[in-house]
Amino acid sequence: MSISHQILIIGGGAAGLATAASLHKRNATLDIAVVEPADKHYYQPGWTMVGAGVFEKSDTCRDMSAVWPAGVKRIKNEVISFDPKQNEVILRDGAIIGYTTLIVAAGLKLDWDAVEGLNDALGQNGVTSNYRYDLAPYTWELVQKMAGKNAIFTQPGMPIKCAGAPQKAMYLSCDHWMKAGKLKDINVSFCNAGPVLFGCAPYVPPLMKYVDKYGINLDFGYNLVKIDGAAKTAWFKVAKEGADPEIIERQFDMIHVCPPQCAPDFIRDSALANAGGWVDVDPATLQHTKFSNIFGLGDVTSTANAKTVAAARKQAPIVAENVIAQLAGRNVAPKYDGYGSCPLTVENGKIILAEFGYGGKVMPTFPWDSTQARRSAWILKKSILPTVYWSAMLKGREWLTRTTV
């Protein structure tokens, strides 16, 4: 006989726990359970700062039990499949869990295996990535000890979580090298599989000022496909307009890799996914397009917003409100406007706080020109947002969550 819960949440990351906490805050009598196998919870936006020597990696990790929302049941297991017609999910151990309402916040998959040789190369021979907790300190070690001539920073095709993260690592590295008098001797390249520096156009000109300041080479259409750490060689599939793709070989002394990303396998293979593999939800209500008692939020959804913690922070209260409305037989409200934020760390001590919604609409939270690099935005990221995350977002305290109706 299967166990059933009124509200079942898949994923105990930022989006899942924030939604659970917001639901419990609204109605403490709700029967809420979250399926999450991990023992640790990570503040992933902090890994950029670890890679620049600003944070210690331990600052970004806590025991899952320490951040678990009050009044929420924990199912320490993994989902392997869904049966939305029967309102059930199947777990790794064969258990079946029923639900009245399902919320999917399963995150995305970092597909390290999509680049030949990458898994074996990481963590040695100058190959690093701030997209892994254990490797962000290695990024800082490489930056400090850099004595070679070639530094490469890669970015795969979209979508990825925090699309600005690959260049954040690059700017902070360049800032350190410039202050140390080394930058003039280092050839820095940004090898981006996409066609533009940043997806929200108003922020490109101020970013280009830093590209020029640091003398960075922009290589668009460069998609990393293979790496040999011992040989310090990377291969890129390069797409040029009007020509067949070609493979170009590049040497490096240091390479920071952002891996290709996709929806988790158990999501892509399910009835919840769209053609691209993401949970198919309405972009404004975050309700599933086929199953009205299913909602999705965070990195796993089909919405066109930036996949950031800031987006999840805005989405969680909206999903909570809409789930409660749906359970009560009321209409759900189309409140989510696509808000996402990317604090672009252009130098140690200054940030361009990119905030934007659907269609690239600039949506600043504060009464300033958000396209300008500011010390105050650095203080926000370094000293305020981590507290907002640990002490507010995961506790159901909905700070910085203003939404539109």
* Catalytic sites, residue numbers: 162, 342
Maximal C-alpha separation, the chain: 68
Q: Can you read off the two tokens belonging to residue 31?
A: 């029967």
Query: Sign of dihedral through CA atoms 93, 96, 98, 102?
Result: positive
Closest CA to 257 of 373, 142, 94, 351: 142
Closest CA to 98 of 23, 29, 1: 1
Give yes or no for a contact between 271 and 306, defined as CB atoms under 8 angstroms apart. no
Give yes or no for a contact between 112 and 143, defined as CB atoms under 8 angstroms apart. no
Give yes or no for a contact between 238 and 110, defined as CB atoms under 8 angstroms apart. no
- The C-alpha atoms of residue 240 and residue 248 are separated, in whole angstroms, by 12
Tally Cβ neighbours within 10 Å of residue 379: 13
Tally Cβ neighbours within 10 Å of residue 368: 12
SS3 string, 206-222, reads HHHHHHHHHCCEEEECE
Closest CA to 260 of 194, 319, 309: 194
Q: Can you read off the two tokens belonging to residue 57?
A: 């990696």
